[in-house]
Amino acid sequence: MSSAESPLIIQSSSWGGNDGKWSVYQVDVGTPAQRFNVLPATSDGEIWVPVPEGCDSSIPNCASSRGIEAVDGVQSSGFQTNESSSWQQIGIYDLSADDSLFPNSGDAALYGLENVSLGALNASSLSNQIVGGISSYNFWLGIIGLGAQPARFSNLPDTAATVLGSAKQQNLSASVSYGFSAGAAYRNAPGSIIMGGYDRAAFEPSNLNFPLAFAGSRSLTARLKNLVISNTLQGTISPPFEPGGLNMSIDSTVAQIWLPGSICDTLSAALGLQYDNSTELYFVNSTAHQSLLDQAPEFTFTLAAAGSPNTTTSIVLPYAAFDQQIGQPWSTEDTTYFPIRRAANESQLVLGRTFLQEAYLVVDWERQNFTLGQSLHRPGVSNDIVTIEPATSSSGSSRISVGAIAGIAVGAVLLIAAICGGIWFFRRKKRREQRARDETADAEARARTEAAVDMYPPDKKDPIGDYEGDAELPGHTRPNKLEAELMAEYRHEMPSPYQEKDNVFVSERPELFGGDSAQMPGSNEIYELPGHEAAKEMDAPASGETSEISKPPPGPDGERSPDGTPVAIGTLDRLGWGRGDGRPSS
Mind giving me the DSSP string for 480-539?
SS--SHHHHTS-BPPP-SPPPPTTT-----GGGG-S-GGGSPPP-------TTSPP-PPP
Residue 296, helix vs strand vs coil? coil
Domain ranges in the chain are 8-194, 197-387, 402-455
pLDDT at 150: 81
Residue 295, helix vs strand vs coil? helix
Task: Give 75's strand partners.
Answer: 70
Contact 554, 547 (CB under 8 A): no
pTM of the prediction? 0.71
pLDDT at 470: 43
pLDDT at 320: 98
How far is residue 47's CA from residue 128's CA, in Å, rounded to a whole number? 12
pLDDT at 563: 37
CA angle, corner 22, sides to 16 and 28, nearest 5?
A: 55
Per-residue pLDDT of the chain (586 residues; tens, 9 = 90+): 444 568 999 999 899 998 999 999 999 999 999 999 999 999 889 999 999 998 888 888 899 999 999 999 999 999 999 999 999 999 999 886 656 676 666 788 999 999 999 987 666 899 999 999 998 887 889 999 999 888 888 888 777 889 999 999 999 999 999 999 999 999 999 999 999 999 999 999 988 999 997 655 678 999 999 999 999 999 999 999 888 899 999 999 889 999 999 999 999 999 999 999 988 999 999 999 999 999 999 999 999 997 788 899 999 999 999 999 998 877 778 999 999 999 999 989 999 999 999 999 999 999 999 999 999 998 878 899 999 999 975 444 333 333 443 444 445 545 555 555 554 454 554 555 545 544 544 444 333 333 333 344 455 655 665 544 444 444 333 334 333 333 333 333 333 333 333 333 333 444 445 544 333 333 344 333 333 343 334 344 444 443 332 333 333 333 333 333 332 223 233 333 333 333 333 3
512 to each of 102, 245, 282, 506, how far by Cα in Å? Answer: 20, 11, 18, 13
Question: Beta strands 74-75 and 14-16: pairing type?
Answer: unpaired
Contacts of 406 (CB under 8 A, 6+ apart): 451
Strand order in the sheet with 192-195: 8-11, 192-195, 177-181, 359-364, 369-374, 210-211
The full DSSP string for 185-213 is GGGTB--EEEETEEEGGGB------EEB-
pLDDT at 426: 47
CATH class for domain 197-387? mainly beta
8-194 and 197-387, same CATH topology: yes
Sign of CA dihedral 126, 47, 162, 368: positive
pLDDT at 136: 83
Region 8-194: CATH code: 2.40.70.10
Q: At what angle do helices 402-427 and 430-452 cross, to 10 degrees?
A: 170
Peptide bond into 329 cis (omega under 30): yes
From the CB of residue 436, how many other CB atoms can be counted at a distance below 10 Å? 18
How far is residue 327's CA from residue 329's CA, in Å, rounded to a whole number? 6
How far is residue 115's CA from residue 109's CA, in Å, rounded to a whole number? 17
Contact 258, 101 (CB under 8 A): yes
Among 496, 580, 571, 522, which residue's Cα sits nearest to residue 108? 580
How far is residue 23's CA from residue 12's CA, in Å, rounded to a whole number? 6
DSSP state of 55: -
Residue 421, helix vs strand vs coil? helix
Question: Beta strands 298-305 and 385-387: pairing type?
Answer: unpaired
